[in-house]
Amino acid sequence: MKKSNNLMKDIKKNKDCYLMLMPFMVFFIVFTVLPVFMSVPIGFTDFNMVQPPEFVGLSNYVNLFLSDKIFIKSVRVTIIFALITGPLSYALCFLIAWLINEMPEKLRAIFTLIFYMPSLANVYTVWKIIFSGDMNGWLNSFLIDWGVINSPVQWLTDSRYILGVTVIVQLWISLGAGFLALSAGFRSIDRTLYESAYIEGMQNRFQELVYIVIPSMKPQMMFAAVMQIVNSFTAGTIAQNLVGFPSTDYKAHTIMTHAYDYGWVRYEMGYASAICTVLFIIMFFCNKLINKLLKD
Amino acid sequence: MGYIKTRSQKSGSVFIFIFLITAGIFMLIPIYLTVVMAIKPVEEIFLFPPEIYTFHPTLDNFRDMFEVMNNSRVSFWRYIFNSLTVTLSVTVLQCAFSSMAAFVLAKCRFPADKLINGIIVVALLYQSNVIYIMQYLIMSKMGIIDNPLALIFPSVASPMSLFLMRQSISQVPDSVIEAAKMDGAGLFRICWQIVVPNQKPALMTVVIFAFQSSWNMHSDSFIFQEQFKTLPTVVNQVAASGLARAGTAMAASVFMLIPPAIVFMFAQKYIIETMVYSGIK
């Protein structure tokens, strides 16, 4: 009883704090927290947005894992996609940010702008023309002109190339917020650290990286990792624009696209919620895992 | 800077420069092609093999873009107006709400503060593009689907903006705030008159990300009425009509790219300054 009294007092004393938090928290709870947690109860129902939801127990999940072959495929595509684009684009962000930092001030600003440009706006529509499957596609027409191939290749619809094409485009736009965070991290490293390390016998840039840079940039690296996870799990949306929906043979069909299919196209919200729940859980644990890896 | 440049480093810089230039060219090729296609006259688009430059630059595509869009039920200016309204509201609300919340979370101790801080870090994962299907359900319950509010509300409370602001405000020495409290200033005044005016880099960063995400926001999931659609949606519709319209589509892409590029050029310095504190500990 006394404890709760104290808590009430504490809350009253900090009334202003809560007042100032409120506007943000109201929107945050309604549009971020609620959507994430709501997917769990709705996932147990059959809900088409017109009739009230009907409780169906675990049947959505049973269907998902046991009879929905396309879902299993989409999990595989998502994991392959995340495993390729995640580490690759993270390494790319790190490498480019590091090299740019070695340049003089003026060049840094220009290079940062160049590498960040693709993520500024949705300019990836041009890739549709580059990879277009007829003779008018840029890639095809050059390859034909140079005699490398005889007839146009269906880059966007041939199931052999879809994954490769989407990975390239994804890498192209992957130098986003994470890249900026890493650039800032490099810039914040105390230059005198290098100086003393060289006096103590450090030989080259690679040693700099291992002994100075990585230890002092852990926090920014964590932030960049979170951004990279979000990017690689939502990559499906870009693929959807490029290779069409559904893609040939479901080669670029990610969990996101699968949820979109059921939520948006078929209005089976219960099933879509179950898919989202699975996605949210995978992302959460992926984040946990990467935090662990970076901490040690 | 008084830091000793060893020989290996000096010679390495040239290689780094060459590497960056090469990589930079690869990054720029698609953007370059976008621009070239945008200023190419229509008859050159069907040349085989396609030329990667043009001798007859023209603004016809831009004119076409305005015309094509003007032929829809509402005028092109209406889409620009919609995009600007959404972008401005999101940017202003995001700055205001996340400044206040960030100040409180960084500088005040109260019940549940740790919990909220923890939740925000996890929430960085669940951005709009991950949860939009669930957001749709909530907004349809609220009855704001097909209403401009559906484009503004979900982006108002961005965990990323709050997080960046909080990290930056944590750097303000506690003594400054204590001194202001001694003078009898309330929390609200300390926040708006002392702390926030000194957070220009962080604010600029929030502005950039807010501007960028809302300027590029597609309205097709939440909006069905023509008069509420935003630019990216309409640009996509133009872009979808095949090669003959490619020039127009590319003109629209260039048109979409310019505003965020300009904002970024001016704000870059501040962003890098803020991102120094972006670390998750």
Other CB atoms within a 10 A radius of the CB of residue B263 amount to 17
The CA-to-CA distance between both ends of chain B, in Å, stands at 29
Confidence (pLDDT) at B2: 41
Q: Which residues of A touch B237 (CB under 8 A)?
A: none
Contact of A163 with A76, CB cutoff 8 Å: no
Q: Is A14 close to B130, i.e. CB distance below 8 A? A: no
Q: Which residues contact B95 (CB under 8 A, 6 or more apart)?
A: B161, B203, B206, B207, B210
CA atoms of A244 and A208, how far apart (whole Å): 45
B16 vs A: CB within 8 A: yes
In this prediction, residues A263-278 reach a mean pLDDT of 90
Q: Which residues of A touch B131 (CB under 8 A)?
A: 32, 35-36, 276
Per-residue pLDDT of B187-241, as tens digits, reads 889 999 989 988 888 888 888 889 888 888 877 778 888 888 888 888 777 766 6
Structure confidence at residue A70 as a pLDDT band (50, 70, 90):
very high
Q: Is B257 close to A123, i.e. CB distance below 8 A? A: yes
Residue of B nearest to A106 (CA): B269
Q: Which residues of A touch B123 (CB under 8 A)?
A: 28, 32-33
Contact of A233 with A82, CB cutoff 8 Å: yes
Q: Which residues of A touch B271 (CB under 8 A)?
A: 180, 184
Q: Is A111 close to B276, i.e. CB distance below 8 A? A: no
Q: Is B101 close to A20, i.e. CB distance below 8 A? A: yes
CA atoms of A70 and A261, how far apart (whole Å): 11
Is pTM beyond 0.95? Reply is no
Mutate to test the interface with A, among B13, B117, B130 (most CBs of A within 10 A): B130
Q: Which residues of B touch A198 (CB under 8 A)?
A: 4, 6
A14 vs B: CB within 8 A: yes
C-beta pairs of B73-82 under 8 Å, 24+ apart in sequence: B73/B226, B73/B227, B74/B226, B74/B227, B78/B227, B79/B229, B79/B230, B79/B231, B79/B234, B80/B231, B82/B148, B82/B219, B82/B227, B82/B228, B82/B229, B82/B230, B82/B231
Contact of A169 with A175, CB cutoff 8 Å: no
B280 vs A: CB within 8 A: yes
Q: Is A269 close to B17, i.e. CB distance below 8 A? A: no
DSSP per-residue letters across A49-65: SSSPPEE-TTHHHHIII
Query: Over the range A220-233, which residues count as b (16 or more CB within 10 Å of their CB) and which as e?
Result: bbbbbbbbbbbbbb
Confidence (pLDDT) at B198: 85
Q: Which of B280, B254, B252 is nearest to B121 (CA)?
A: B280
The percentage of chain B sitting over the pLDDT mark of 90, rounded to a whole number, equals 23
Q: Is B3 close to A195, i.e. CB distance below 8 A? A: yes
- Map A162-225 to HEC letters: HHHHHHHHHHHCCCCHHHHHHHHHHHHCCHHHHHHHHHCCCCCHHHHHHHHHHHHHHHHHHHHH
Residue of B nearest to A132 (CA): B243
Confidence (pLDDT) at B8: 45
The residue ranking higher by pLDDT, A148 or A33, is A33
B143 vs A: CB within 8 A: no
Other CB atoms within a 10 A radius of the CB of residue B113 amount to 16
Q: Is A32 close to B239, i.e. CB distance below 8 A? A: no
Counting one residue from chain A and one from chain B, the pairs whose CB atoms sit within 8 A come to: 283
Q: Which residues of B touch A279 (CB under 8 A)?
A: 130
In this prediction, residues A140-157 reach a mean pLDDT of 84
Per-residue pLDDT of B8-40, as tens digits, reads 455 578 888 999 999 999 999 999 999 998 888
Task: Give me the sign of the Cα torsion angle B86, B87, B92, B97.
Answer: positive
A234 vs B: CB within 8 A: yes
A293 vs B: CB within 8 A: no
The neighbouring-strand residues paired with A55 are A45
Structure confidence at residue A3 as a pLDDT band (50, 70, 90):
low
ω into A246 cis (within 30 of 0): yes
Report residue A153 as tokens. Answer: 């290749």
Q: Tell me which amino acid residue A98 is.
A: W
CA atoms of A264 and A257, how far apart (whole Å): 10
CA distance A62 to chain B (A): 21
CA atoms of A181 and A116, how far apart (whole Å): 12
Q: Is A103 close to B20, i.e. CB distance below 8 A? A: yes
- CB within 8 Å of chain B, chain A residues 65-94: none
Q: Which residues contact A86 (CB under 8 A, 6 or more apart)?
A: A228, A229, A232
In this prediction, residues B262-278 reach a mean pLDDT of 83
Q: What's the longest Cα–Cα distance across chain B?
A: 76
Confidence (pLDDT) at B7: 39
CA atoms of B67 and A13, how far apart (whole Å): 61
Report residue A167 as tokens. Answer: 């990975």
Ranges A246-255, B195-204, B271-280: which has the least confidence: B271-280
CA B40 centroid distance within chain:
29
Could you tell me where the beta strands, DSSP code E, fall in A90-142?
none
Among partner residues B46, B116, B125, which is closest to A136 by beta-carbon distance? B46
Per-residue pLDDT of A165-218, as tens digits, reads 888 888 898 888 889 888 888 887 877 887 788 888 777 777 888 888 888 888
The neighbouring-strand residues paired with A45 are A55
Per-residue pLDDT of A103-136, as tens digits, reads 888 888 899 999 999 988 877 788 888 888 777 7
Q: Which residues of B touch A235 (CB under 8 A)?
A: none
Among partner residues A33, A125, A229, which is closest to B125 by beta-carbon distance? A229
Mean pLDDT of chain A: 86
Confidence (pLDDT) at B1: 41
